[in-house]
Amino acid sequence: MRISVIGTGYVGLVTGTCFAESGNRVVCIDVDEDKLANMRNGKIPIYEPDLENIFLRNIKEKRLTFTNSLSEGIKEADVIFLALPTPPVEDGSADLSYILKVASELGELLDHYTVIVNKSTVPVGTVEKVRAVIKEKSKIDFDVISNPEFLREGFAVIDFMNPDRIVIGTESNNAKKIMEELYDPFVKNGSQIFFMDERSSELTKYAANSFLATKISFMNEIANLSELVGANVDQIRLGIGADERIGNRFLYPGIGYGGSCFPKDVMALNHIAGENNYIFKILEAVMSVNQIQKTKIVNKVTKYYNDNIEGKVFSIWGLAFKPDTDDIREAPSLEIIKELIGAGAKVRVYDPEAIKNVKTYFKDYQGITYHNDAYEALEKSDALIILTEWSVFRSPDFAKIKKNLNHPTIFDGRNLYELKVMKTNDFYYESIGREIVNSL
């Protein structure tokens, strides 16, 4: 098939590359000229494991091309995917301007039957809006359908190639047939395509992300309570996760959820509820718990130094909102760094992939130094603070950590280490929802 993907970010690039890999001709369309120039030169604009090889192979085999021209890009398309941003606006709702602008342009340009598939995460009723905008300008027969994306950054290729499920919202038999054909190579392992009405499909995506965010906030509250009653949240996690009804995934407490999806999607769902005069009490609690959780680690640090961290130097391991990505959108690390610096401390930061994005984000901000080596970042520091659970941090050289730090002190926002290992290695060690090791 001939596929066009409008918006070549995390979702669009993975979608385009994976559809090219299954034999389709894919044109990726974007407005970001730098990104396009890099991609044409075989430079992948994001860090995403397993993507680069298939990206390069499909460029070489001319199944994957790039353009800034919408009219060129959709010329022969059988299917057009929209993978455009839907960032939050001030009131928490999703900004649909990117999608509606492209819809209006498509209305001018369509000259043959095409299935327009929305992959962006959008409020209920967006497909109807897109259809109306196109119809206003076009006499051509077309379908607009919903196909929310569930890939996880860091596992995007695996998730796209072997999805848990594919959700498609449409009443059009023609579009259904085309989608079945397009996704057939990806459901050979038995995954299911759930066809449903558009509105349910749009709400499914928000419900999924909000449920996951709820799990995280719930575990963060259990962790906070564990600290107060002298329990260990990791043991509780195992104890409840063995119950199949609960499941053992997404039960890790930490420094609050971040990323480009959970915060905005929870807010957007809450906004949808509000617009319909429904108070979604759980979501309000989820958001407020998350906001508080982001400050927990800074509170632990400042409390340890008797509420005065002025002049202290902290090493930070991990900046991306989660491991295996360079994405720092809504990463808790950004707020934590600002709070530490705001209280008079300095930070020395290291991340395997996100340093470049963090440097761009903080620009001329004073008080941060960037390091390409985790152990170098520890030098001249009073303590190490761990914010992202990259696997390279899981079995570090504790002797070297101790040697490089001014004091053997670790604040771990991701519970990477066994308490007894930290005891043996003689670290002062504070984590989330567990006892403090070698407490003074």
CB of 299 to ligand NAD, least distance (A): 29
| Residue 64 per-residue DSSP state | E
| Residue 437 per-residue DSSP state | B
Q: What 3-state class would DSSP assign to 8?
A: coil
11, 74, 133, 261: which is the annotated catalytic residue?
261
Query: Cα Rg for the chain, rounded, in angstroms?
Result: 24
CB of 223 to ligand NAD, least distance (A): 25
Instruction: State yes or no: is 18 an active-site residue.
Output: no
CB of 93 to ligand NAD, least distance (A): 13
CB of 83 to ligand NAD, least distance (A): 5
For residue 426, give Cα distances in angstroms to 74, 108, 422, 439.
Answer: 62, 68, 6, 11
Beta-carbon neighbour count of residue 199 at 10 Å?
A: 16
- CB within 8 Å of 438: residues ≥ 6 apart: 422, 423, 426, 427, 428, 429
> Which of 167/416 has CB closer to ligand NAD?
167
| Contacting positions for ligand NAD (CB under 6 A) | 6-12, 29-32, 35, 83-86, 98, 101-102, 119-121, 149, 151, 153, 260-261
Strand-pairing partners, residue 169, are 146, 196
> Which of 48/430 has CB closer to ligand NAD?
48
Position of minimal CB gap to ligand NAD: 9
Beta-carbon neighbour count of residue 332 at 10 Å?
A: 25
Contact indicator for 48, 86 with CB cutoff of 8 Å: no
> Which of 147/302 has CB closer to ligand NAD?
147
| Residue 279 per-residue DSSP state | -
> Which of 94/301 has CB closer to ligand NAD?
94
For residue 103, give Cα distances in angstroms to 6, 81, 98, 134, 171.
Answer: 11, 11, 9, 6, 20
CB of 136 to ligand NAD, least distance (A): 18
> Which of 7/413 has CB closer to ligand NAD?
7
The residues assigned a catalytic role are 261
